Amino acid sequence: MGPISVLLLALLGTFLFGFLASMVWIAVRLWLRLPVFPPQSRLRRLRWNGETLLLIFFSFLLMPSLLTVTVKELTGTTAETVLPESTLAVSSAEVCPAAEEDPAAKSLPAETKTSQGTETADGAETADGTETADGAETADGAETADGTETADGTETADGSETAPGIENEKRSHHVVFEYLSGDPSPEKYIFLFLYVVFLGPFFDEFLFRFILQGWLDSRERERFGMRRFRNRFTGRAVRKLGTSDPNADGLRRSLIRHRTNCCGWRSLILAAFIFAFLHFHSATDTYPSRSLLQIQFFCTAVSYVLILLGGFSILHFRDGFSLREMGLDLSHWKTDLRLGAFLFFCTAPLSYLCQFLLAEPLNGICAPDFISLIPLALGFGFLYMRTRRLLPGFTAHALFNGFSFTAFILSSKMELEFGMMLVSLLP
């Protein structure tokens, strides 16, 4: 057993041990009637600025593509596409199609007849429907010396036959696989590891948990918290909120309590589904060239850094958000790291199971990422709802991407297909 096999087994063993340990810990906590997660955070409702939200979201949607187009024009990179490796292997083996042979000519010896009646000096014939000196013939429906056929209605050496056009089957593997398949240099691995494990998860937590889920949660507390308050108090009492009535202060405190105690599960579910559906991509038979993929990864990374710096600056200096309100609270960093690891071991198996179960039914149609990521996205949102901090979700997200990326690299070295399924879940 080689060192790569040992590393892969150690990685999978650690993952399995973490999952079993998490399940045992949950069972013990429930048996002792103790809480599994920390109590709900009671931060005040944030007052969002609509202009800031639109600026951040439009930057997320437009900046990476605009920056990619600009860099592509400056460098003169063409938007050529490459086929998956299996397609390239088959295409390189194809030869010119043979002309239809006369039925009478088929009965003659193959050594003396060709579709154009030409023969080389060494006995190897070259033409459409060519035959080599060892008796191997190549064409549509061509036959080689060992009895293998290549072309439509393809027959392999072991006698198995594939449907016509199977070599051009659409693929849905992640662009990371395509980027690393050509020249897997150490620089590429380091860059993608930093992008996939650190920058991507932190940006996703900032955008989808803090910005999107935080804004939806604020609207949910405003709407449903006020509804609960109105259901409890009469309309006359509610109208006293804007007056100097002595009872108004008590009503205001009650309203704040109803808004604070309002459950944010609606915003959690909506933000999780939006996050998952943005990972939808249909199957394709071509991919961008590796030089263009390199530009796309680089421009996306630069865009994420600029959006993070600009977003935090605007929210803090213009909108008045504190670091704690923006989720940048490291006072409980040990607890947050444990929570993130715990959530990863609890929810990642569900995502991987969905990925393996849906890979075959959706083969050639689309990647199952947008379904497989739903359990994980719900877990990220639940951690943010309970803690109002970005570190727990970032830890779980980084562990998930790091495990998938590492397992993909090790399995690709061993030529195992399941690594492609794991890497598809990357952002």
pLDDT for residue 211 is more than 90: yes
Specify the residue for token string 């040992």. Answer: 6
- Would you state the pLDDT for residue 109? 46
pLDDT for residue 421 is more than 70: no
Query: Quick one: average pLDDT of 230-258?
Result: 50
Give 145's contacts (C-beta < 8 A, 6+ positions apart). Answer: 132, 134, 135, 136
Q: What are phi and psi of 112, to 5 degrees?
A: -110, -5
Query: Quick one: average pLDDT of 212-217?
Result: 91
- Would you state the pLDDT for residue 380? 95
Between helices 333-359 and 390-413, what is the axis angle to 10°? 50
- Would you state the pLDDT for residue 222? 72
337 burial type by CB count under 10 A (0-12 exposed, 13-18 middle, 19+ buried): middle
pLDDT for residue 108 is more than 90: no
**Residue 24 vs residue 5, higher pLDDT:** 24
Q: What is the pLDDT of residues 261-270, one digit of tens each?
A: 556 788 899 9
- Would you state the pLDDT for residue 356? 87
**Residue 79 vs residue 284, higher pLDDT:** 284
**Residue 391 vs residue 3, higher pLDDT:** 391
Which whole-number Å values give the CA distances from 197 to 179, 190, 192, 340, in the listed order?
17, 10, 8, 14
Q: What is the pLDDT of residues 16-51, one digit of tens each?
A: 999 999 999 999 999 999 888 877 666 666 788 889
Listing DSSP states for 357-413 in one string gives HHHTTTTTTB-THHHHTHHHHHHHHHHHHHH--HHHHHHHHHHHHHHHHHHHHHHHH
pLDDT band at 59 (very low <50, low <70, confident <90, very high): very high
How far from chain centre, in Å, is Cα 293?
16
Beta bridge partner(s), residue 155: 149, 161
Convert 189-217 to b/e letters by CB count within 10 Å (16 or more is b): eebbeebbbebbbbbbbbbbbbbbbbbbb
40: DSSP letter: P
**Residue 245 vs residue 33, higher pLDDT:** 33
Closest CA to 97 of 129, 124, 135: 129
Query: Most confidently modeled of 28-42, 245-259, 370-384, 411-425?
Result: 370-384
390 burial type by CB count under 10 A (0-12 exposed, 13-18 middle, 19+ buried): buried
pLDDT band at 170 (very low <50, low <70, confident <90, very high): low
Mean pLDDT of the residues in the chain: 75
Residue 253: both structure tokens together: 């405190």
Which CB contacts under 8 angstroms, 24+ apart, belong to 51-57? 52/311, 52/314, 52/315, 52/318, 52/319, 53/211, 53/215, 55/314, 56/207, 56/211, 56/307, 56/310, 56/311, 57/207, 57/211
How many residues are present in the chain? 427
Percent of the chain exceeding pLDDT 90 equals 37
Least confident of 41-50, 140-149, 209-218, 239-248: 140-149
pLDDT for residue 129 is more than 60: no
Q: Can you give the residue ranges of every domain in the chain?
A: 37-86+172-423
Specify the residue for token string 């937590």. Answer: 205
pLDDT band at 226 (very low <50, low <70, confident <90, very high): low
pLDDT for residue 279 is more than 50: yes
- Would you state the pLDDT for residue 119? 44
Query: Quick one: average pLDDT of 233-248?
Result: 50
pLDDT for residue 96 is more than 60: no
Query: Quick one: average pLDDT of 149-174?
Result: 46
Phi-psi region of 138 (alpha: psi -120 to 50; beta: other; left: phi over 0): beta
- Would you state the pLDDT for residue 394? 97
Helices (H) and strands (E) in the chain — how many of each? 17, 6
Q: What is the pLDDT of residues 313-343, one digit of tens each?
A: 999 999 999 999 999 999 999 999 999 999 9
- Would you state the pLDDT for residue 172? 58
- Would you state the pLDDT for residue 3? 85
Question: Are the beta carbons of 86 and 334 closer than 8 angstroms?
Answer: no
Which CB contacts under 8 angstroms, 24+ apart, belong to 263-267? 264/213, 264/216, 264/217, 264/220, 264/221, 264/385, 265/385, 266/216, 266/220, 266/224, 267/213, 267/216, 267/217, 267/219, 267/220
Query: Quick one: average pLDDT of 423-427?
Result: 53
Residue type, 272: A
